[in-house]
Amino acid sequence: MKFGWMALISAAVATSGLVAGTAQAAGNAVVGGSSGLVFDNNAVCSLTAIGYDNAGRLVGLTAGHCASTGALFGAEQFLDAAVIGTVAYSDDGKGVDFAVLQFDPAKVTPVRSIGPATIAGLGAAPAPGEPVCTSGRSSGFDCGVVWGSLQGSTINQSCSKPGDSGGPVTVGDRLVGMNQGRLTGLGGVGFNIPCLSGANPIHSPAFFAPIDQILQAVDATGGVGSGFQPI
């Protein structure tokens, strides 16, 4: 799903996703893990988490294939806030598949909870057979069992649709990974069953990168985002 970038400048949208109890100033975007982000390439992805780096900058994470370094972005549910940040670094999906986002703190209210998804800290990578939950701007909140690993990614039976890329993967209120998509082929054999609803578990598995791998890659850049901790 795509949106015209000019909509970020001129349009306002309903704020039905506003976190209860959070006051919203005019033009102020309430942003947390699983919030929808609209980039100036018209891509729409989900935020993994928001927090601070070791220099005290307000930063966040999403998938690298969403946008390139230098791209501008807005919050899908708060388009009246216009541009709320810049992609400080992206590997364009050619590495671990991550991007570091630097937010304008004057335009953003960072929160731990968006809907049922709460991120209160970091957690260890789950083992096969353990359940995880994912949250994204397209599929909402869904949980599924971890199947195992494939080429460095962790495979799990949760719902993932276009736009969910970058969304958080959690165990309880601990962030354990970043959703990066769903499997569409195995060993050259077509395997593409879209997820129509989280209530129906019969669909292609999703895959995510463990958060410790993402944060190691962020720290290796030595720039914006290094030392990231969620709020």
pLDDT of residue 191: 61
- pTM of the model as a whole: 0.85
| Topology alike, domains 7-18+26-114+216-230 and 117-211 | yes
The CATH number assigned to the domain with range 117-211 reads 2.40.10.10
How do the pLDDT tens digits run along the chain, 231 residues long? Answer: 444 544 444 343 333 333 333 334 445 999 999 999 999 999 999 999 999 999 999 999 999 999 999 999 999 999 999 999 999 999 999 999 999 999 999 999 999 999 999 999 999 999 999 999 999 999 999 999 999 998 889 999 988 999 999 999 999 999 999 999 887 655 444 467 777 665 667 778 899 999 999 999 999 999 999 999 999
pLDDT tens digits, one per residue of 75-109: 999 999 999 999 999 999 999 999 999 999 999 99
Burial code of 56-86, b = ≥16 C-beta within 10 A, e = fewer? ebbbbbbbbbbbbeebbbbbbbbbbbbbbbb
pLDDT value at position 196? 66
Say what the pLDDT of residue 185 is.
Answer: 56
Query: What is the structure's pLDDT at 198?
Result: 56
Beta bridge partners of 88: none
Per-residue pLDDT reduced to its tens digit, 6-31: 444 434 333 333 333 333 444 599 99
Residue 37: phi, psi to the nearest 5?
-120, 135
Rounded alpha-carbon distances, angstroms, from residue 13 to 76, 164, 191:
8, 20, 37
pLDDT at 4: 52
Let me know if domain 7-18+26-114+216-230 sits in CATH 2.40.10.10: yes
Sequence spans of domains, the chain: 7-18+26-114+216-230, 117-211
Q: How many CB atoms lie within 10 A of CB 32?
A: 28
Would you state the pLDDT for residue 181?
84
pLDDT for 204 equals 82
